[in-house]
Structure 1
Amino acid sequence: MAERGFTVSRLPGFAAVAVAVFVCLYLPIVTLVVYSFNGGPSIAVWQGFSLHWYGEAWNNQAVKDATARSLVIATAASLIATTVATMAALGTTRRPRFRGQGLIYVMINQPLMVPEIVTAVALLIFFASIKVATGYQGLGYLIAAHSAFCTPFAYLPIRARLEGMDLSLETAAADLYASPWQSFRHVTLPLLTPGIAAGAMLAFVISLDDVIITEFVKSAGQDTLPTYMLGQMRRAITPEVNAISTALLALTVTLLTAFFLLNRKKN
């Protein structure tokens, strides 16, 4: 009988370590969700089941404003990042290799390779000089900053989708006298749509959850939902923060599940 190869899961204690890791990762999240239904004002002492804090969050105008601002920024940033990522993916996969292609990969993925705090400080310095020169203090800076940071997250699934597509289909379209635009519109784009949708959802989630870059770039009165929650943590903490976190968690899980379903391999 052939000797079985090495498998990490057969190492002694693997199951116990795996369970401990999952407990450490998910027990705090489960605790947060449970205490969002706490009837009392404490986040540590259970005082009965209640939806009171969800009602408080729903009726809190500051939460509504921060949520609306977060959705506007995340939607705009995901659209811009996905558009740029799609063009970059087409330019780096639908042509022969060229000098400097590796450098382009590095530049596109640069936000993934450096600490986010470094990107945030760089954006702060860059946008501060523009604010001084123009006097403009609007949401455009946050949208631009989030777009730059989210582009590599959108680029990866789009590029992966392009690399998995059969190039002969586009060649066949060209052989049938389709112009480059017709070939892209009727062949490439329909096949690429799941990758674009997945990239857009991932960029949306990353923008929606971002704290560090937002905290550095935003002006006064431009709190997003994550930065609003961070500000609340510096004051008296109530289960309202848990309720907001649970709602944000539910939205993120929903979008990431859709991202997974769009990217899973077809049989």
Structure 2
Amino acid sequence: MNRLSRFNIVSLVLGFAFLYIPILLLVIYSFNASRLVTVWGGFSTRWYVSLFQNQQLLDAALVTFRVAFLSASVATVLGTLAAIVLTRYTRFHGRILFIGMVFAPLVMPEVITGLSLLLLFVAIGLERGFMTITLAHITFSMCFVAVVVQSRLLSFDRSLEEAAQDLGATPARTFFTVTLPVILPAIVAGWMLAFTLSLDDLVIASFTSGPGATTLPMRIYSQVRLGVTPEINAVSTILIGVVGIGVILASLVNKRRDVQRRRDEQAAAQG
């Protein structure tokens, strides 16, 4: 077994400290009693109480979670279908163009994506608001889902599907009873990734939003430009907690699924 050298340990500690100490300080100062975010005035939850009385932030949070849930759900369906096409159908006219269209948002700057979508919505006369933000988030998050699901499909054992079809299952039933349960962890991971990306997006939402459809990152950014307030620390801490809980739950579900799969394999081997 290779042991970590002192240099590697120090590098890891410094790297994790650089990443997580600012987040830890943000969480700590969200419980600061002082209005000054850089001066500790004692422990208090007053800013969380004030946050839930701030109607503008609450409305922005509601819009953000609605957009994130809807866009992640649609992007997961479309991304999964795109991954199946890229994995199972390797020869068809326009495949290179299709690949480029699916994965273009991965490498395209968000400013270009947001500007092009803005021009599209203006050209077709679609009023900017909740729907345009949702469509924009579907556009750029679908490719991330496709990458995650495609990586799972590439290692999928096709003999399982062949065995099900030999036993009389239709292609549709084979997909829902054999293929889908196997790739479900990847689909869930893709949905969570799309959901998180939608929660975090600022640039594309700024181009495609309209009156009455301000997302939480946009609201936070507009307030931070006038100065950081303890309420911003509080809402950021809540977002960190929501994302962290989601990641933990997904890890537990995947771990339980892996344990169950190993038990089924051992039972099949013993039988």
The structural deviation recorded for 1:26 is 1.3
Whichever residue aligns with residue 142 of structure 2, its letter is T
Does the aligned pair in 1 maintain the 2:129–2:211 contact within 8 Å? no
Q: Are residues 1:239 and 2:230 paired?
A: yes
| Whole-angstrom distance in 1 between the partners of 2:107 and 2:197 | 15
Aligned: 1:20 with 2:14: yes
1:186 Cα deviation (Å)? 1.7
> Could you tell me whether the CA contact under 8 Å between 1:109 and 1:152 is conserved in 2?
yes
TM-score (norm 1): 0.88
**2-structure distance, mates of 1:63, 1:143:** 19
CA drift of 1:72 comes to 0.9
- Mark the runs of 5 or more structure 2 residues left unpaired by the alignment: 263-271
Equivalence map 1:6-45=2 (5 Å): 9-10=4-5, 13-45=7-39
How far apart, CA to CA, are the structure 2 residues paired with 1:243 and 1:80? 30
Query: In structure 2, what is the equivalent of residue 200 of structure 1?
Result: 191
Q: Which has the higher mean CA deviation after the structures are superposed, 157-166 or 85-94?
A: 157-166
Tell me by how many angstroms 1:260 deviates: 4.6
Any stretches of 5+ residues in structure 1 without a counterpart?
A: none
Distance across 2 between alignment mates of 1:259 and 1:110? 28
Shift of 1:172: 1.0
Question: 1:178 Cα shift?
Answer: 1.7
Which of these residues, 243, 248, 255, is aligned with residue 252 of structure 1?
Answer: 243
2:177 is aligned to: 186
- Deviation string, structure 1 residues 100-154 (Cα, Å, up to 9, x no partner): 5454333212111122222122112222223xx35x3331100100000110121
Distance 1:110 1:261 in 2: 33
Map 1:32-181; keep pairs closer than 5 Å: 32-98=26-92, 100-130=94-124, 133-134=125-126, 136-181=127-172
| Aligned residue-pair number | 258
CA distance in 1, matches of 2:112, 2:13: 35
Does 2:215 align with 1:224? Answer: yes
Residues 85, 154 of structure 1: 8 Å contact kept: yes
